[in-house]
Amino acid sequence: MTFLEKLQKLPVLTKKIILWAIVIIIGIIFLAVWVRNSQARLRNFQLEGFKEQLKLPSLEGSQLGLPKIKAPNINEEELKKIEEELKKVKE
């Protein structure tokens, strides 16, 4: 009897256990490889040149095409009146 024939004659529960054991083992192997590769990449990571490699646009001088909005000048008296009106509305 070959190995495959022996597997085919096993009960379904045993087949499932074997399948999940193989899946878990392969998953652990993939996880170990991923961790090692991540560690190697982090060791070789150069923080100094990272910003230059990204080539992000600067937002300091650009307006992004948005219009300028001017806030109205409200003195303290007008502000107190507005606050009183809000209190009245809330009641």
What is the distance between the alpha carbons of residues 16 and 5, in angstroms, rounded to a whole number? 16
Range 65-80 average pLDDT: 81
| Number of domains the chain is built from | 1
pLDDT of residue 90: 84
Residues of the domain holding 26? 9-45
What is the distance between the alpha carbons of residues 68 and 58, in angstroms, rounded to a whole number? 19
**Contact (Cβ atoms closer than 8 angstroms) between residue 83 and residue 74:** no
Residue 52 lies in a domain: no
Find the length of the chain.
91
What is the distance between the alpha carbons of residues 9 and 57, in angstroms, rounded to a whole number? 65
pLDDT of residue 1: 78
Residue 88 lies in a domain: no
pLDDT of residue 60: 63
What is the distance between the alpha carbons of residues 7 and 53, in angstroms, rounded to a whole number? 54
What would the pLDDT profile of 20-65 be if each residue is shown by its tens digit? 999 999 999 999 999 999 998 888 877 777 777 777 766 665 566 6
